[in-house]
Amino acid sequence: MEILDWQRPEACGEGASCPEVAVTSDAVYVRSSLRPDAIAQLDVTEWRDLLSAIRAGEFDV
Protein backbone atom coordinates (compact mmCIF):
# COMPACT_ATOMS: atom_id res chain seq x y z
CA MET A 1 0.00 0.00 0.00
CA GLU A 2 1.24 3.48 -0.79
CA ILE A 3 2.02 5.94 1.98
CA LEU A 4 -1.19 7.77 2.83
CA ASP A 5 -1.60 11.40 3.89
CA TRP A 6 -4.04 11.07 6.80
CA GLN A 7 -6.26 14.06 7.62
CA ARG A 8 -8.48 14.59 10.66
CA PRO A 9 -11.18 17.19 11.36
CA GLU A 10 -9.89 20.43 12.84
CA ALA A 11 -12.43 20.04 15.66
CA CYS A 12 -10.45 17.02 16.90
CA GLY A 13 -7.27 18.95 17.51
CA GLU A 14 -4.90 16.50 19.14
CA GLY A 15 -7.76 14.37 20.51
CA ALA A 16 -7.19 10.66 20.79
CA SER A 17 -10.51 9.49 19.35
CA CYS A 18 -10.97 10.99 15.91
CA PRO A 19 -11.86 9.80 12.43
CA GLU A 20 -9.06 10.08 9.89
CA VAL A 21 -9.34 10.09 6.10
CA ALA A 22 -6.80 9.70 3.30
CA VAL A 23 -7.77 10.32 -0.32
CA THR A 24 -5.96 8.89 -3.34
CA SER A 25 -6.77 9.04 -7.03
CA ASP A 26 -8.91 5.88 -6.89
CA ALA A 27 -9.94 5.32 -3.26
CA VAL A 28 -10.78 6.91 0.06
CA TYR A 29 -9.37 5.32 3.21
CA VAL A 30 -11.00 5.77 6.61
CA ARG A 31 -9.73 4.80 10.05
CA SER A 32 -10.05 5.71 13.72
CA SER A 33 -7.12 7.27 15.52
CA LEU A 34 -7.79 4.69 18.24
CA ARG A 35 -7.16 1.81 15.81
CA PRO A 36 -4.89 3.12 13.06
CA ASP A 37 -4.23 -0.37 11.68
CA ALA A 38 -7.94 -1.00 11.00
CA ILE A 39 -8.41 0.76 7.66
CA ALA A 40 -11.55 0.74 5.51
CA GLN A 41 -11.09 1.30 1.78
CA LEU A 42 -14.01 2.91 -0.05
CA ASP A 43 -14.51 3.66 -3.70
CA VAL A 44 -15.85 7.08 -4.70
CA THR A 45 -19.49 5.93 -4.74
CA GLU A 46 -19.24 4.33 -1.31
CA TRP A 47 -17.59 7.49 0.07
CA ARG A 48 -20.37 9.71 -1.33
CA ASP A 49 -23.02 7.37 0.10
CA LEU A 50 -21.33 7.46 3.51
CA LEU A 51 -21.17 11.27 3.52
CA SER A 52 -24.82 11.50 2.46
CA ALA A 53 -25.87 9.16 5.27
CA ILE A 54 -23.86 11.14 7.84
CA ARG A 55 -25.37 14.43 6.66
CA ALA A 56 -28.87 12.90 6.77
CA GLY A 57 -28.36 11.89 10.40
CA GLU A 58 -28.58 8.16 9.75
CA PHE A 59 -25.93 7.47 12.39
CA ASP A 60 -27.21 9.86 15.05
CA VAL A 61 -27.96 8.19 18.34
Q: What Å distances lie between residue 52 and 15, 21, 49, 58, CA to CA?
A: 25, 16, 5, 9
- For the CA atoms of 40, 30, 48, 55, the dihedral, rounded to the nearest 10 degrees, stands at 120
Q: Please report whether residue 40 resides in a domain.
A: yes
Q: Is residue 10 part of a domain?
A: no
- Per-residue pLDDT for 32 more than 70? yes
Whether 55 is in a domain gets the answer yes
Q: How many CB atoms within 10 Å of residue 28?
A: 18
Give me the number of domains the chain comprises. 1
Residue 37 covered by a domain? yes
What is the spatial distance between Cα 54 and Cα 36, in angstroms, rounded to a whole number? 21
- pLDDT given for residue 41 in this prediction: 97
Q: Is the pTM of this model over 0.85?
A: no
Domain with 44 in it: 21-61
Does the pLDDT value for residue 1 go beyond 70?
A: no
Q: What is the pLDDT of residue 43?
A: 96
pLDDT digit string (tens) for 35-48? 999 999 999 999 99
Residue 17 has pLDDT above 80, yes or no: yes
Specify if 1 maps to a domain. no
